[in-house]
Amino acid sequence: MPRDVTETTLREIFAEETGEVFLTLLEIDDPNLSEKIYAVNDTVDIVHNFQIYKAYPFELALPPSDGETLPSLRIRISNVSLSLITLVRNMTNAPIIRVKVIRAADPETAIVDVQRMRLKGVSADMQVLEFEVMSPDFLTSKFTGHTYNFGHYRGLFR
Write the pLDDT tens digit of every residue in 47-101: 999 999 999 889 988 777 777 777 788 899 886 667 777 777 777 778 888 999 9
Whether 122 and 132 have beta carbons less than 8 Å apart is answered as: yes
Listed residue (121, 27, 23) closest to 72, CA to CA: 121
Spatial distance between the Cα atoms of 134 and 117, rounded to a whole number of angstroms: 5
In the predicted model, what is the mean pLDDT of residues 100-126? Answer: 87
pLDDT over 90, % of the chain: 19
Domains of the chain plus CATH, in order, are 20-136 (2.30.110)
Question: Measured at the alpha carbon of residue 18, what is the angle toward residues 12 and 20, in degrees to the nearest 5?
Answer: 70
In sequence order, the 6+-apart residues with CB closer than 8 A to the CB of 74 are 60, 61, 63, 130, 131, 132, 133
pLDDT class of 2 with cuts at 50, 70, 90: very low
pLDDT class of 147 with cuts at 50, 70, 90: low
Cα–Cα separations (whole angstroms), residue 79 to 28, 69, 124, 134, 144:
16, 27, 8, 22, 40
